[in-house]
């Protein structure tokens, strides 16, 4: 059977979820099979692939590591994305690249590397998906669902979407071009998000310890507000309920 999707960064949370859901239609390659910084391997892989869509999930996502290793981060998250864009056009493929809420008003190396990746893509041909997502691995969800205490910031705001909904939207919008923002509708603090998670999963709210986030000198600067207006209307309550329906606890 012809595979429609070539997934790069195959060990990432997002790639694994996408591949599990659309098993029959995906070929997924991890870093050992396709290191996106190796342009020769990248070209060979793309040239040989039958897939029309290339989903790039490969990235340095550890914000602290990125801050300490900016050269490596820009090489993986920005330069390799330019190569991917060029090669996808050369072989008549459609690139779907994952960017981040942190790219909108960048405050750290990771955010800047993602912003540059967006600028290096030919958006008249390819698609950038900007997002922030939660899964069973997200610390607030992982702790609360297993009955453990979690800290949650009252002064840090975001609007993440569930991984389930995100992959559904990536699939649905695969033929779009340009930049597509996929988030839930409203800005919410991490503390209020934790409360909504507790309510959805019927967990004791006392497990949530409110705290205030402070950027520390010498560490990556995190934005206090990474809200991005979504192009798709997704209410958080509805998203959490549907996330719960498909929920499988995280096992490391």
Ligand X SMILES: NC(=O)c1ccc[n+]([C@@H]2O[C@H](COP(=O)([O-])OP(=O)(O)OC[C@H]3O[C@@H](n4cnc5c(N)ncnc54)[C@H](OP(=O)(O)O)[C@@H]3O)[C@@H](O)[C@H]2O)c1
User: What is the smallest separation between the CB atom of 82 and ligand X, expressed in angstroms?
Assistant: 14
**Sequence-separated (6 or more) residues with CB below 8 Å from residue 92:** none
Q: Which is nearer to ligand X, 147 or 249 (CB)?
A: 249
Q: Which is nearer to ligand X, 194 or 205 (CB)?
A: 194
Strand pairing class (94-100; 53-56): parallel
Phi, psi (5° rounding) for residue 201? -95, 10
DSSP reduced 3-state for 160: coil
User: What is the smallest separation between the CB atom of 206 and ligand X, expressed in angstroms?
Assistant: 27
Q: Which is nearer to ligand X, 11 or 205 (CB)?
A: 11
Task: Outline where 38-162 has alpha helix (H).
Answer: 39-48, 63-68, 70-74, 80-90, 109-120, 139-145
- Shortest CA distance to 71 belongs to which of 99, 33, 112? 112
Q: Which is nearer to ligand X, 158 or 204 (CB)?
A: 158
Task: Report yes or no: 101 and 131 within 8 Å, Cβ to Cβ.
Answer: yes
Q: Which is nearer to ligand X, 51 or 58 (CB)?
A: 58
User: What is the smallest separation between the CB atom of 133 and ligand X, expressed in angstroms?
Assistant: 4
Spatial separation of the C-alpha atoms in residues 103 and 118, rounded to whole Å: 8
User: What is the smallest separation between the CB atom of 247 and ligand X, expressed in angstroms?
Assistant: 17
User: Can you read off the two tokens belonging to residue 28?
Assistant: 């997924």
Strand pairing class (157-158; 26-29): unpaired
User: What is the smallest separation between the CB atom of 2 and ligand X, expressed in angstroms?
Assistant: 24
- Shortest CA distance to 9 belongs to which of 25, 32, 26? 32
Q: Which is nearer to ligand X, 2 or 179 (CB)?
A: 179
- Shortest CA distance to 151 belongs to which of 190, 187, 188, 189? 190
User: What is the smallest separation between the CB atom of 162 and ligand X, expressed in angstroms?
Assistant: 11
Q: Which is nearer to ligand X, 31 or 89 (CB)?
A: 31
User: What is the smallest separation between the CB atom of 117 and ligand X, expressed in angstroms?
Assistant: 8
DSSP reduced 3-state for 189: strand
Residue nearest to ligand X (CB): 12
Footprint on this chain of ligand X (rule: CB under 6 A)? 9, 11-14, 31, 35-37, 57-61, 76, 98, 100, 131-133
């Amino acid at each position: 059977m012809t595979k429609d999707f070539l997934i790069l960064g195959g060990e990432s949370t997002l790639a694994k979820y996408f591949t599990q859901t659309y098993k029959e239609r995906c070929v997924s390659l991890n870093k050992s099979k396709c290191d996106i910084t190796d342009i020769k391997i990248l070209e060979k892989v793309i040239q040989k692939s039958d897939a029309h869509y290339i989903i790039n999930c490969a990235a340095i996502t550890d914000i602290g590591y990125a801050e300490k290793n900016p050269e490596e981060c820009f090489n993986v998250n920005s330069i390799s994305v330019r190569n991917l864009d060029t090669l996808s056009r050369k072989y008549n493929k459609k690139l779907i690249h994952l960017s981040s809420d942190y790219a909108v008003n960048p405050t750290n190396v990771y955010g800047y590397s993602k912003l540059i990746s967006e600028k290096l893509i030919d958006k008249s041909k390819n698609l950038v998906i900007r997002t922030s997502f939660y899964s069973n691995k997200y610390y607030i969800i992982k702790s609360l669902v297993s009955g453990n205490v979690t800290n949650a910031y009252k002064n840090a705001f975001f609007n993440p979407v569930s991984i389930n909904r995100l992959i559904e939207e990536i699939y649905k919008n695969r033929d779009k071009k340009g930049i597509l923002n996929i988030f839930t509708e409203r800005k919410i603090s991490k503390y209020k998000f934790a409360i909504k998670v507790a309510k959805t999963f019927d967990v004791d709210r006392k497990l949530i310890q409110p705290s205030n986030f402070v950027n520390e000198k010498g560490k990556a600067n995190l934005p206090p507000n990474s809200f991005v207006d979504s192009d798709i209307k997704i209410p958080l309550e509805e998203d959490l309920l549907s996330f719960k329906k498909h929920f499988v606890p995280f096992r490391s």
